[in-house]
Structure 1
Amino acid sequence: MSRQLAVMMVLLAASGVAQAVTKCQNGGETLYTSASCPAGYRNVTSTMRSHVMTVPGTAKTRKADQAASALRTQTAAQSQAWRERDEDMDLRLQNAFWNQCLIIDYRVRATERAMQTTEYWSYADRYREHADALRALQYGMGCLG
């Protein structure tokens, strides 16, 4: 049993052999490589604070990264289109509201003008009631103010 355990430990240790990583800098550029630093770069590996694990890029991972990037781009474009549509809809609703307020205001003015020009008191009372109802509607809708 201990022999099998020893063999398994040796196999595990051999499978976890890590490659050395070298950190190289040239001005503002940083390069990580498994070889020595190229010409013009200086070795600053000692400034690294933790272990670096590198994963080789395969065609499958690159393809998945490209698909994820395309999906992010598509989602961003769709979100922008939705925002623009919502802003356009808000503007249309505000315009419709203020147009309704203007129509009610025109009706109030026409009613008041009719009230002033009528010759019959009974008509004037009806016009006054109608104008008061329109003003209450304006106030209720929030048009005044």
Structure 2
Amino acid sequence: MSRLLAVMLLTLTATGAGAATAVTKCESSQDTLYTATPSCPAGYTNTTRTMRGSVVTVPRATPKARQAEMDYLQHQAQISQQIQAWDERDAEQDWRLMNVFWNQCRVLDYQIRGTEWAMEHTEYWSRADRYREAVNAARATQFQMGCFL
């Protein structure tokens, strides 16, 4: 039993030592290679000494920091919901404005059709001329508004 325990401890220490291997920086004229082995392959030179850097560790979050993060996330969620509500309101308003526009275009079209019908069925030429002028004015208004039915 003690022999099995000793083998397990040696295995754990060997894997633990392998996990903490250093990084070797190897450079050639074309590129840079980072390797876990202590020596560089042929054609590369070891430039590990020129590596500058530090390891930054992040401490565990304190309860106060976690609460601050939760408050921040809730605030961001509220802002997101408010922006979504604004977007929905703007889309609704745009839809209503387009609906009003097309209704105005339809009214002009019905007005033109009615005036043309009256022009065709009138007995007096003077009224037909006035109807024709009204139709031309309504068509000009349609064109200015951009009503292309």
Q: TM-score range by the shorter chain?
A: 0.5 to 0.7
How far 1:81 moved relative to its partner? 1.2
How many residues of Structure 1 are paired with residues of Structure 2 in the alignment? 106
Q: Which amino acid aligns with 2:95?
A: L
**TM-score normalised by the chain length of structure 1:** 0.65
1:96 counterpart letter in structure 2: V
Which segments of 5 or more consecutive residues in structure 2 lack a partner in the other structure? 1-11, 13-17, 24-52
The equivalent residue for 1:58 is 62
1:24 matched to which residue of 2? Answer: none
Partner of 1:79: 83
Q: 1:46 to 1:137 in 2, by over 3 A?
A: farther
Query: Which residue of structure 1 lines up, in the alignment, with residue 123 of structure 2?
Result: 119
Distance in 1 (CA, whole Å) between partners of 2:20 and 2:85 is 47
SS at match of 2:61: coil
Pairwise CA RMSD of aligned residues? 2.5
Alpha-carbon separation, structure 1, partners of 2:99 and 2:21 = 65
Change (3 A) 1:53 1:87: same
The aligned counterpart of 2:94 is: 90
Question: Could you tell me how far 1:59 is from its partner in structure 2?
Answer: 2.1
Counterparts of 2:22 and 2:147 in 1: how far apart (Å)? 67
Q: Answer yes or no: is 1:67 the counterpart of 2:76.
A: no
**2:145 counterpart residue number:** 141
Bigger radius of gyration, 1 or 2?
Answer: 2
Instruction: Give distance in 2, aligned partners of 1:113 and 1:44.
Output: 92
Shift of 1:46: 4.2
| Cα distance in 1 for residues equivalent to 2:78 and 2:128 | 64
Segments ≥4 residues shifted beyond 3 Å? 43-50
Identity of aligned residues (%): 46
Stretches of structure 1 that go unaligned for 5 or more consecutive residues are: 1-36, 38-42
Alignment partners' CA distance in 1, 2:54 and 2:121? 92
